Every structure is written in structure tokens, then in C-alpha cells.
Amino acid sequence: MTDPSTAEAPVLDQLSRLDRYLPVWIIAAMALGLALGRLIPDLNDWLDTVKIGTVSLPIAVGLLAMMYPVLAKVRYSQVGEIAADRSLLVTSLVLNWVIGPALMFALAWLLLPDLPEYRTGLIIVGLARCIAMVLIWNDLACGDSEAAAVLVALNSLFQIFAYAVLGYFYLELLPGWLGLDTASLDVSMWEIAKIVLIFLGIPLAAGYLTRQWGERTRGVEWYEGQFLPKIGPWALYGLLFTIVILFALQGETITSQPVDVARIALPLLAYFALMWGLSFALGLRLGFSYGKNTTIAFTAAGNNFELAIAVAIGVFGVTSGQALAGVVGPLIEVPVLVGLVYVALWARKRFYAQPPG
């Protein structure tokens, strides 16, 4: 956990250069992708030469590069510890797997009723619970780092089993029950499950085995202090590579319909603010300490955009509106959650007694 004495230091100064300027790197990757799209009109045919499932090999490599460093950071041995605090476990599960997806579903249908591809992409984002950047936001806000590590591990494992089922429920079953128009959508639960197993299951297994190997052969201090910092940036490199490719293939759509991109951003902004505020207020009501409450709020508000992008590309294609919606996710999420770190630090002063000294 971040030393409380440094909590009032500018939040952005506590981030690494890569993380601090993530929105800048994303925008630069978008611009590079748009330029490549104009220079290489046959890029899509070249990318489709070799595929893993329905995803071209270069994009698959980028997606796996996004996921592996994140999952290598997870402390899997701590998952069982959450049983000691059942209130924290139940609250996290309800917020992440009941309220979060339902809120994104409602916002997507409310704000994008005429844009089915983007709407579906946002629902896919809402189903992918945060397992990566939440550790950074939680640490900056002086949350409970051990609780965050446990909840991240829990979400990682839960997504393997729950993502495809919830995807089918929110994309096919629930809209049908509510009488909403899904004529243009045909989603197979197995198709979603297959993508999740490839792009979450493989890096999850690799991350788990890497941690086991590293801790047993070199020790926890070496693994946490030397190995993870070396592989960590590759998650960002994989994300930026994927964004370059996506925007190279989506350039014409993006430049001709910039208002659509702005409309994708609106429900994302509403989602992050509402989800964090609701979670933090619930934690106050339940009497959680500041550290645990902050962890609950950031875990619930953040999303695993790496997995969402992988699912959108794997199920709907790299040039789909669903994939574009997934890419807009981190562009909005990063600055908003940085802002929520400041909100959390303000809430600590407002609602929690300060420790002496």
C-alpha cells in the first residue's frame, strides 16, 4: 500500500512514465493506425493470412502480450484468504458480477439505442471485470493492497467460468425477455467461451506457472522486484500494437463518424462515475475501513479492457464496431480513474478519521 505520507503528493507523479501518459500513447497509436490504414489499403488481407481461431496471428500475439504480464502479477496463493472476510467477498462479487454488468447494459441501451454494434461492444466491456490497472489506482489511493490482490485473483478465476454465460445472458436472453430488438445480433455462448479460454485461459495459466516458478527458484523478492517490472511494460506494448491495427482497419469509419466515438465515450463516463460512487457509498454503509472500501470501489469500477477487446475481435472481427467500442474503453477509463483517485483521497478526509501523526 502507498505510504500515507506520500498520499497527498500529486497522483500523476506517483505513476510510471508509461502509465502516466497512457492516454497520450493511446492517442498516438490511434493516429499511427489511421496513417497506416491510408498507406496500406490491403492490410486486412495480409493480417488474415494466418489465424488463431477467428483472430489473425499478429493481433492474437498483441492480445496475449496484453494479458500475460497482468496475470503474472496476480498473487494466486492469496485467493483463499478472502474467505476470512465474507462481507468483503460477497460485496465484491455482487458489485462486479451483478450490478456492474447490469449498469453497463442499461446505459448502453439507454444512450446507444440506434447503434447496436457500439452498444454490444460496451456490454462486452461491462462484463470484463478489472484485473489489471486496479492495482495501480488502488495503491495511489492508499487502498488495501492485500485485499486488492485477492480480489484481482478472484476476478481472474471467476471470469474463466462466468464471462461466456453472462455474455450470452446480456447479449441474447435478457434483450429478448425485455422485448428489445436484437435482430442484427447472433452470439454463440461457445464462441465467447472459446475466445475467453484462448485469450484469458492461456495467459492465466502462463501467469500462474510463471509465478510458481519464479517464487520457488528465485524468491518472492526477486519475482516482485525484478522480474515483474521487466515484463510489465509489455502489457502496454501489446495494447498499443492492437490499437494501431484496429485504427488502421477502422480509419474510414472513425474519420467519417467522429460523433459516434463521442457517443461511445458518454456511457463509459457515466458508468465509471456511477459504479465507483455506488460502490464507495455501499462500503460506507457497511462500515468497511477506508482501505477496504477504496479497494472495493476501484475493483468494481475498473474493467478488463484487454479481455473485452479480445472478445470483441474474436467474436465480431477486427473491423467491427464492437472492437472500436472496446478500444475507446481505456482511452476514457484511464483519465477518469486517475480523477477518482483524487476523489477517494478527498473522501478519506471527509468520511474517515485520520490516523494520529
Q: For the chain, list the domains and their CATH numbers.
A: 10-350 (1.20.1530.20)
State how far the Cα of 200 lies from the Cα of 198, in Å rounded to an integer: 6
In the block, which residue shows the cell 471470469?
A: 159
pLDDT on residue 13: 64
- What residues of the chain score a pLDDT lower than 50? 1-2, 4-8, 356-357
Among positive and negative, which fits the CA dihedral 300, 301, 307, 312?
Answer: positive
Give the angle 219-221-225 at the CA atoms, nearest 5°.
130
pLDDT on residue 10: 62
Other residues' Cβ atoms within 10 Å of the Cβ of residue 130: 26
State how far the Cα of 26 lies from the Cα of 237, in Å rounded to an integer: 10
pTM of the model: 0.80
State how far the Cα of 277 lies from the Cα of 259, in Å rounded to an integer: 28
Do the beta carbons of residue 199 and residue 65 sit within 8 Å? no
What nine digits make up the cell of 346? 478527498
pLDDT on residue 357: 39
Helical axes 86-94 vs 290-301, angle rounded to 10°: 30
Do the beta carbons of residue 142 and residue 348 sit within 8 Å? yes
pLDDT on residue 94: 94
Do the beta carbons of residue 305 and residue 125 sit within 8 Å? yes
Give the angle 159-164-166 at the CA atoms, nearest 5°.
85
pLDDT on residue 1: 46
